[in-house]
Structure 1
Amino acid sequence: MGADRDVEALVSAVEALRAQVEAAGLPLDVPGRDAAETTRRRLLGQLDDYVLPRLRSLDAPLLAVVGGSTGAGKSTLVNSVVGEPVSRSGVLRPTTTSPVLVHHPDDGHWFEGDRVLPGLARLSGHDTGEDQPGTVRLTASAALPSGLALLDAPDIDSVVSANRELANQLLAAADLWIFVTTAARYADAVPWDLLRTASERGTAVAIVLDRVPPEAVDEIRPHLASMLREQGLSTSPIFSVPEVALEDGRLPAWTFTRLRDWLQALAGDARARDIVVSQTLRGAVASLGSRADELATASRAQDAAAAALAAAAQESFDLARRRVSDGMTDGTLLRGEVLARWQEFVGTGEFFKQVESTIARWRDRISAAIKGTPAPVDTLGEALHTGVAALVLANLEAATSDTARAWRRMPGGPAVLASGDGLGATTSASTAGVERLVRAWQGEVFDLVRTEGQGRRTNARVAAYGVNAIGLFLMLVAFAQTGGLVGAEVGIAGGTAILAQRVLEAIFGDQAVRDMAAKARDRLLTLVDELYDDERARFTAALAEHTAPQDQASRIESAATRLARVAS
């Protein structure tokens, strides 16, 4: 019972890791993403194709996958061991495009369902050469002893990429790799890459050295054994098959007697079979941790890239907000049209009929500097509206373009930009939003004037001058820092500010004017913050569609740590 509980705990830990691997996403196109996605896909495949099925069915037949390079003679070897043509062989490459799994008739129930290789549809009977991709052909043969199944896999170096991928998947599903190579190609790089993987994962491996000229056996076999030792595979048995003429498409029985006897011994000896299965299973479970770490590292790279993109957007919009704040107090809004409309406004004299003589003298200084045609108060209000809107919109456009420019240079950014609808530019809705913002702010300034003018004496003065005119004066005072003006503009705008402030102080008092101006500025910045946050949200929403699940890396690491603890 204790052993059963240990296996149950191990299955539970592996299932927990599998859940995290399956849920993991690597949506941002950052360096290393493709390799990490391959690791994830293969890790998930081995969990589904081998580790979990084997843990849940420790007494299932041993699955030996026959793999190797193109033309190594894998299918011929399988047909020869079985004694009948169960797998198609020939000179055309690739010959094996869909795997063929040969089993004893009594063992069929182990393979007919989705216990192993659940992603492959099952076919039955002999290979006709017409199998479709994504299938595995099951063939029953009494020539194989019960307890052993052979799977003829596609070439590991096939010219067809899908075949190469499938070959890797099948090898990862094996209890035992029977690696077939030839005297001419045993030192090729591709097989040894996979043999190193087998060594790293602790997979049981047997080597079949095919088509060996009799005079070369004593030279090639020791060299191959030396190469295996260097890769940590010194215990892997080597079976030599001499170069001989085939008999009815199969090897003469005497050429593979030692291999056949070894396979039959494995099938008939439960203890020997358990040793092979335990070696591969332990190695596979032990390798899960390092591959999970690779996936966690890739997940952290995703998090870092997403955070960098979000920070770039935040920085661009923060800069835009600071520029709006500076533009409100450096005299920018008192230039051009606003200044001209103000001069026309005070030049009429209509507004100041009842203003104290000291204020009138300030009015005279400014109106003497320019001659103009009287203009209504609406003209000044429109000029202020246009100036504020231009300031807010220009910096909004700058923030949008700066963010897009930064993202194009950053890992993952170009794909996110391409997925969004017009992320690189402001929209008509954005422009309309700026217009609404300025109108709303001006309305709030007028409301502020009404609220502050509720006293009987103050209310009378406000009523005498008009709420809108007083509100416009308050806007001018709010924007009255002249650091950004030059030449004659300084004196004119400075006088504008002082004159407007004197009018307001006469109505509300100096402290109240300072407080009202501060409130007006703060409220405009608050509205700008809200608008810019909404615009920045377009970028963050697009980024969210390309962001890995929260805490993905730590959850993968926690699951891997739990598995390591249970497996130790």
Structure 2
Amino acid sequence: MSMLGAVTTLREEVAGAELPLEIPGVAAGRGTREALLKQLDDYVIPRLRSLDAPLLAVVGGSTGAGKSTLVNSIVDEEVSRSGVLRPTTTTPVLVHHPQDERWFLDDRILPGLSRVTGTKGAPTAGAASAGTKGAGSDGAGSNGAGETSMRLVASSSLPPGMALLDAPDIDSVVSANRALATQLLAAADLWLFVTTAARYADAVPWDLLRQASERGTAVAIVLDRVPPEAMADIRSHLAGMLREQGLSTAPIFGIPEAALTAQGRLPESDVARLRSWLTALASDARARSVIVRQTLEGALGSLEQRAAVLAAATADQLAAVTALRDAADAAYGDATRAVEQGVTDGTLLRGEVLARWQEYVGTGEFFKQVESTISRVRDRVTAAIKGNPPPSGDLGEALQSGVAALIQSQGEGAAATVARRWRQLPGGDAVLQSRPGVAKPSATFTAATERLVRDWQGELLDLVRSEGKDRRTTARIAAYGLNGIGVVLMLIVFAHTGGLLAGAEVGIAGGTAVLAQKVLEAIFGDQAVREMAATARKRLLERVRDLYAAEQQRYDEALRGVDIQAGRAARLADAAAAVKAVR
């Protein structure tokens, strides 16, 4: 694989490593991702594609360091506005030799910046590439449509092979200017770093200079406004600081404190050495190549470590999303198990259900018969049923209401549990705020629960019909009533976990189940009743699982917008390793 191919692959992985979840430390990860993308797009990939393009020297530094004045003095022309008001440079100004215009008109470098051609208020005549606009007001920072622009100025005073880019202040009071200055420096082959005798030890410049050192960026220092009598001491002190930061090879150009010329420029004698150095560098293809390769190698060398930081941030996102999903899985899993227990432990045979059943088969004496003479229960139950209306009215409604209430309450509890747990987990509260509806059951949950129970009751009747195909059984079903038999089957389904009851149990609910069991055994036989009850219970729980899965799907959808692809962190590391291997 070529270097360009490896870097392009890495760029794709970096772009795909979105960090949408608001978790601790995400700001640093996003900053790393943004910086990586910008350096890859603004510098590394363009430079790999055009190694012979002009060297780009970005003039950067602190507020009031005299960057624009320096640029104007180097080219002996006012190409960048200077003054006492801060910030002065808000729109970057790129000065190039007319022969090099083709390298900068398109989006080869800094593709996020639109191009504006011409000097202050005077657009250059001639064609411009797509996205290039005529000159507007200098220092606006925007082309009027909210798009950041860069002014291109052609000057024959600058030798071919080199361009100067006057950047905003690195410590500007405007945050957008600070961000743009950092971006422009990351796009440079060479930093022409401007500081003053009064501010050369400030923290902000040295934070950036340390980054330059760590990434191998070529740097030259312009020490401006130095009292002549202090020039030697300050240069010596600055040189020592540069050595400590691994920048011992960075040349220092001292400019003494002096009055500006009538044109607002530095005296020729003060800027001559720097201009001569830049001209020599521009004229020497080999020297330019050394600078370009030094900075490019440094940028490439920094990719692995920064990609590792982004990979770790991506892994943190995946872990957070997984924890949120697990919380939803656990809540609805617990709700499903609670319903399973509730429909099999006899709980639903108490309360109103028990009262309705007792109204039908009688109390007191009937239960005494269950306890003392279980062998005669079947006859008594059969006689009772033949003499009474089918138990499909109030009893069926009580059973239906009971199971629906159980499913409803557990579903509501699951939604509340997920919301509570998500608020405790990293990133969860922000997702809930963006999707407030998932903090409670869906608007259709109640209706879906009621429909589930009705549909399940229909399945029970189908089971009864299927089991009663022969003529004798059909006649018995007709004698008791299809709906009545279905309600009795529901009673058995809700009896207990371990299968049908074999005899009288302690407790009224147990007795109720015994009676219901004997009714169906009189019609279908023992084995058939067992199979029917097991099938009915299984189908009910399947429907409950499907209902809860549909409710849980809302949480999956809420997380889909912040989903992190599994394996992204590994692919980032692999892509960075591939770049290292090609180097």
Structure 2-normalised TM-score? 0.89
List aligned pairs for 1:297-316, cutoff 5 A.
Answer: 297-316=312-331
1:308-349 Cα shifts (integer Å, max 9, x gaps): 111000000000011101111222201211111111121399
Contact 1:321 1:529 (8 Å CA) reproduced = yes
Quickly say closer, same or farther: Cα 1:150–1:553, change in 2 above 3 A.
same
List aligned pairs for 1:5-404, cutoff 5 A.
Answer: 9-128=2-121, 129-133=138-142, 134-248=148-262, 249-347=264-362, 358-359=376-377, 377-404=392-419
What is the letter of the counterpart of residue 281 of structure 2?
Answer: L
Partner of 1:308: helix, strand, or coil?
helix
1:412 paired residue number: 427
Question: Do residues 497 (structure 1) and 491 (structure 2) align?
Answer: no
Unaligned runs of 5+ in 1: 1-7, 368-372, 484-488
**Distance in 1 of aligned mates of 2:151 and 2:24:** 39
The range that moved more, 385-394 or 24-33, is 24-33
Question: Do residues 553 (structure 1) and 546 (structure 2) align?
Answer: no
Contact 2:36 2:306 (8 Å CA) reproduced = yes
Unaligned runs of 5+ in 2: 122-137, 143-147, 367-373, 499-504
Which of 515, 522, 536 pairs up with 2:538? 522
1:286-308 Cα shifts (integer Å, max 9, x gaps): 11222222222111111111111
Contact 1:344 1:374 (8 Å CA) reproduced = no
Which of 483, 486, 494 pairs up with 1:468? 483
**Distance in 1 of aligned mates of 2:38 and 2:375:** 90
Post-superposition shift, 1:230?
1.5
Partner of 2:343: helix, strand, or coil?
helix
What is the letter of the counterpart of residue 81 of structure 2?
Answer: R
What is the letter of the counterpart of residue 30 of structure 1?
Answer: I
User: How big is the alpha-carbon RMSD for the aligned residues of Structure 1 and Structure 2?
Assistant: 2.4
Contact 1:30 1:302 (8 Å CA) reproduced = yes
Post-superposition shift, 1:482?
10
Contact 2:390 2:483 (8 Å CA) reproduced = no
Question: Do residues 428 (structure 1) and 443 (structure 2) align?
Answer: yes
2:553 paired residue number: 537
Post-superposition shift, 1:421?
5.6
Quickly say closer, same or farther: Cα 1:130–1:177, change in 2 above 3 A.
closer
The range that moved more, 474-483 or 199-208, is 474-483
What is the letter of the counterpart of residue 26 of structure 1?
Answer: L
What is the letter of the counterpart of residue 125 of structure 1?
Answer: G
**Distance in 2 of aligned mates of 1:204 and 1:35:** 26
1:84-111 Cα shifts (integer Å, max 9, x gaps): 1111111100000011111112111111
Contact 2:346 2:510 (8 Å CA) reproduced = no
Partner of 1:250: helix, strand, or coil?
coil
What is the letter of the counterpart of residue 400 of structure 2?
Answer: H
Post-superposition shift, 1:165?
0.7
1:199-245 Cα shifts (integer Å, max 9, x gaps): 11110001111111122223222221121112111111111111111
Q: Which runs of 4+ in 1 moved over 4 A?
A: 360-364, 373-376
Structure 1-normalised TM-score? 0.91
Post-superposition shift, 1:553?
2.1
**Distance in 1 of aligned mates of 2:28 and 2:175:** 16
1:150-177 Cα shifts (integer Å, max 9, x gaps): 1110000000011001101100110000
Post-superposition shift, 1:360?
6.0
Contact 1:482 1:490 (8 Å CA) reproduced = no
**Distance in 1 of aligned mates of 2:175 and 2:380:** 85
Post-superposition shift, 1:389?
0.2
Contact 1:345 1:377 (8 Å CA) reproduced = no
Percent identity between the aligned chains? 63
Post-superposition shift, 1:147?
1.1
What is the letter of the counterpart of residue 117 of structure 2?
Answer: S
